[in-house]
Structure 1
């Protein structure tokens, strides 16, 4: 459907642009505090969306609160703390490519926890290809393995591990709660965790600078790529399903690197580009059957 395709492109643009906004905001705001402020805004707006569009705007049962707390910690709290700290060491464009390793990690955790069947030999080859891609993006210097770039990529990778684990380990927690409601409360729980973690890192609000670019970055991240983009995500998830929506994660780095070049003048290294191709190839090899099954019905029409 043309509308679905346009929404997919729009979501990719909005989420890809968030990496440029993070780069800009980190010039004036401490990373964990910045992430907390983003999800203060996004969480409240998505909660308003849930309250106006669904019949359940808050969790009630113990299992519903358990799910919200679990997702809030792993997929919004720990994930964003590590991503924003990592982008303090590497560019948002590079971080976006490392994050594209996430769907591969998700498949790995699903296999490890017994939720999905073990991968075939081709699937295992795909995992290795994606792992090689991460190494290419990190581009470690043999004489200085703990250089800034390698550390940044490693921290972002840990963030992706947190997100993937949270996404997979939460699957058995089955609740009858609208997705937007779960997302809103998970954002707010994650924001609360980030606010607690920020001073533990020695961050202080007094160290932040309020500039027009900082405010613009926060508004973009909280309102545009936060609340509005997640509303698009919910709609596309219903139309496309989880396998196809994962492809947004591979359109984001393209957008992020293009905008970083246009707006910030950041060039992309050939090794980074090669890493992205390897990660996407790995994802395709792992999920090739599911991806081909989503294409075949369209071919028959």
Structure 2
């Protein structure tokens, strides 16, 4: 007797999954304030290394799980994309571009993820999601760009590369699937990325002469909250959410960064910035309310008794 194996059901976007995944880019939105108020100046590689390596080693020690088989090289690839290469490019762009230009370039990530999802995962994003991604980029541009924004070619190239690397990591992680819990996966990738960053930091920046209490608090916040906890929620979201839906949650990054600057640094908002904030927020909500993208129907497999 022949039986047809049904395709595995696609998980729905539950509010709890969306909320937990959104905590990651929301915490990343506080990075600028923490960096400018607590961290030592002109130490981007040091900040990147101390965000990744200590948190990764602690998570590996706590979970007591190491990769097996192909996940040794897969963890190395994802760790390089998410941390080892992404962090230096991100900080390089941050030092050469105004925050508004960097945020606007970063907001195109949902469009990159949508393109890669079509090519790699064969998932065609819906029109609503694509419109939300375009509107989100426009809203972030209104929110963050100013007439004095400088367009440095190397900074723009670095930010585009960083955004593309993270988008690629989202799609690859979705394609490969998680072999372990999000905490275990976070520990592997942070350690792999940190091991790449550590020798680069020593060669380029060296060891700082002094470290203040404020520096320690800043590094601790970025390492624990902004990295270990945030990326555990982010990788959990990769497992449970459609890739384009997840990347749209990245719009919370510039939204939170703007609110943090307004509340903590005393910055003011113009009418255009308020309009951009509302447009980006509306795009974020609309993208999550859109129906899930249809998956290609797999060829039924025939089993004989």
Match of 1:261 in 2: 262
Q: How does 1:21-32 map to 2 (within 5 A)?
A: 21-24=34-37, 27-32=40-45
Query: 1:124: how far off?
Result: 5.1
* 82 and 250 in structure 1: CA distance in 2 versus 1, 3 angstrom threshold: same
Match of 2:228 in 1: 227
RMSD over equivalenced CA pairs, Å: 4.1
* 40 and 93 in structure 1: CA distance in 2 versus 1, 3 angstrom threshold: farther
In the TM superposition, what whole-angstrom CA distance separates every residue of 1:27-55 from its partner, at most 9, and x where no partner exists? 4352122101111122123224433xxxx
Query: 1:161: how far off?
Result: 1.3
Q: Give the TM-score normalised by the residue count of structure 1.
A: 0.71
Match of 1:38 in 2: 51
CA contact (8 A) 1:20 1:93 kept: no
In structure 2, what is the Cα distance between the partners aligned to 1:248 and 1:119? 16
Q: Give the TM-score normalised by the residue count of structure 2.
A: 0.70
Query: 1:186: how far off?
Result: 0.8
* 273 and 153 in structure 1: CA distance in 2 versus 1, 3 angstrom threshold: farther
Match of 1:188 in 2: 191
CA contact (8 A) 2:109 2:164 kept: yes
Gaps of 5+ in 1: 52-56, 294-301
CA contact (8 A) 1:79 1:163 kept: yes
Given candidates 173, 176, 193, the residue that maps to 1:173 is: 176
CA contact (8 A) 2:53 2:194 kept: yes
Given candidates 59, 67, 72, the residue that maps to 1:59 is: 67
Query: 1:235: how far off?
Result: 6.6
Alignment partner of 1:169: what SS?
helix
* 267 and 109 in structure 1: CA distance in 2 versus 1, 3 angstrom threshold: farther
Query: 1:71: how far off?
Result: 0.4
In structure 2, what is the Cα distance between the partners aligned to 1:84 and 1:70? 20
Query: 1:203: how far off?
Result: 2.6
Match of 2:301 in 1: none
CA contact (8 A) 2:174 2:238 kept: no
* 246 and 254 in structure 1: CA distance in 2 versus 1, 3 angstrom threshold: same
Gaps of 5+ in 2: 1-13, 295-305
In structure 2, what is the Cα distance between the partners aligned to 1:49 and 1:94? 39
Match of 2:110 in 1: 103
CA contact (8 A) 1:23 1:91 kept: no
Name the larger-Rg structure: 2
CA contact (8 A) 1:100 1:279 kept: no
Query: 1:65: how far off?
Result: 1.1
CA contact (8 A) 2:110 2:247 kept: yes
Q: How does 1:116-155 map to 2 (within 5 A)?
A: 116-117=123-124, 120=127, 125-132=131-138, 136=142, 139=145, 146-147=151-152, 152=155, 155=158
CA contact (8 A) 2:143 2:272 kept: yes
| Count of aligned pairs | 280
In structure 2, what is the Cα distance between the partners aligned to 1:50 and 1:219? 20
CA contact (8 A) 2:103 2:144 kept: no
Which stretch has the larger CA shift, 127-136 or 191-200?
127-136
Query: 1:272: how far off?
Result: 5.7
Residues 1:160 and 2:160 are matched in the alignment: no
In structure 2, what is the Cα distance between the partners aligned to 1:262 and 1:224? 20
CA contact (8 A) 2:80 2:196 kept: yes
Query: 1:151: how far off?
Result: 5.9
Q: How does 1:237-256 map to 2 (within 5 A)?
A: 241-242=241-242, 246=247, 248-256=249-257
